Amino acid sequence: MSANPTPDIVIKARNAGCSSYLAKPFRPSELTRRIESALSAPPLVPPAPPKVENASNLDPDAPTTTEAKTDTPESNDEDAGDGPDIINRVKSIEGLPSFPSTHAEILKLAKSDDATSAEIADKLQLDPGLLAAMFKVVNSSSYGFNKQVKDLSLAVTLLGLEEIANIVLAAQIFDKLGNYEDGAGLDLKEFWNHSIGTAFVARAVARKLNTEEDSAFLADMMHDLGKIILDRYFGDFYKAVFEVVGAEDIAIVQAEREILGVTHAALGGVLAEEWKFPKNYLNAIAHHHEVRTAPRYQRLVCIVHLADIICRQLKFGNGGDDQIPEPDEAALDRFSLGDRGMKILVEVAEVELEGAASFLAALSG
């Protein structure tokens, strides 16, 4: 509703999900008609996630017998015709950032037996800004090199192609989504502290558990990207989420379900598909709150889930609420973790967090 609408306001409202505009002053009967029309429309709910039985025994790289047609939470055919929902509206946002293919190309080279650092240089030198950002990160105290690294070949030798690819995508993500104005209330500094912190925790946890070490860092850095999109493009709706979080002292993911009918995790999974991220990252983003629903890559999903909780316990950054959920039993069972095991992971993670602040400073510097 507005007494003084402008085209910009109407367009912004539509992009945020509003389907109807009512000019002031208006007759009560018109308001009643609009409300009745809205209440009779299909609800804003995401399709149900695929059900997975005996999750702790699944092969992380093999589809389950109940696997959905895609890895994203929107693939349930029963809900496909339920009308426009918030996920479809996100897909139609004009100006939604796209990610170049540099990361995928570098990863492809990393898996090639005859790849050379010269080929990597050719890819990175097409984007001088990205190359400069990469060297800032490489030379940050998070890697602890005694001398400044200025040569790309040396950086590849010291870190490996996969780690270089991870730094490249981290720099691209921060460049595209790192900062903006007029959000709904997400503290961007604390959000990125949490995201980078969980990435460092995830890598430490993966290293300790001897699994998914190459993928854990980026998967956890990206696990909350859906929050950025909701905060930036659906501010009016997301403000209500923060109000509920504050008033009821609940987790932001629970408030998202209540207010929006969709979580940042489900939305993040859809965005990962739109951006053509690898499927292992897609699953980790979409299912990190409900690891049992992940149809594939459950080891990585469980690591992201545990790292998120550990980072919350250590109070490094903030993802929008102060809750510290209990780890999912499926995640604990997958790695045979009890109280002692979790305590060891927390101790390992606490040491690793020392490098997170310098890594973020290098990205934003």
Question: pLDDT tens, position by position, for the chain (365 residues)?
Answer: 776 655 456 556 666 767 666 767 667 766 887 787 677 654 444 333 333 334 334 344 444 333 333 454 443 333 333 223 677 777 766 566 666 666 667 667 766 777 676 776 777 777 777 778 788 888 887 777 888 888 877 887 788 777 777 788 788 788 878 778 778 889 999 999 999 999 999 999 999 999 998 889 989 999 999 999 899 888 888 899 999 999 999 999 999 988 888 899 999 998 888 888 889 999 999 999 999 999 999 999 999 999 999 999 999 999 999 999 999 999 999 999 999 999 999 999 998 888 888 888 888 76
pTM score, whole prediction? 0.72
Q: Do 268 and 226 touch, CB atoms closer than 8 A?
A: yes
Q: In the 3-class helix/strand/coil scheme, how is the chain assigned residue by residue?
A: CECCCCHHHHHHHHHCCCCCCCECCCCHHHHHHHHHHHHHCCCCCCCCCCCCCCHHHCCCCCCCCCCCCCCCCCCCHHHCCCCCCHHHHHHCCCCCCCCCCHHHHHHHHHCCCCCCHHHHHHHHCCCHHHHHHHHHHHCCCCCCCCCCCCCHHHHHHHHCHHHHHHHHHHHHHHHHHCCCCCCCCCCHHHHHHHHHHHHHHHHHHHHHHCCCHHHHHHHHHCCCHHHHHHHHHCHHHHHHHHHHHHHHCCCHHHHHHHHCCCCHHHHHHHHHHHCCCCHHHHHHHHHCCCHHHCCCCHHHHHHHHHHHHHHHHCCCCCCCCCCCCCCCHHHHHHCCCCHHHHHHHHHHHHHHHHHHHHHHHHHHC
* CATH 1.10.3210.10 in the chain, residue ranges: 181-365
Q: What is the pLDDT of residue 151?
A: 81
| Predicted pLDDT of residue 331 | 96
Predicted local distance difference test score (pLDDT) of residue 88:
74
Residue in the block written with tokens 């100006």: 95
At residue 48, the pLDDT reads 39
Instruction: Return the CATH class of domain 181-365.
Output: mainly alpha
Q: Residue holding tokens 């047609």?
A: 69
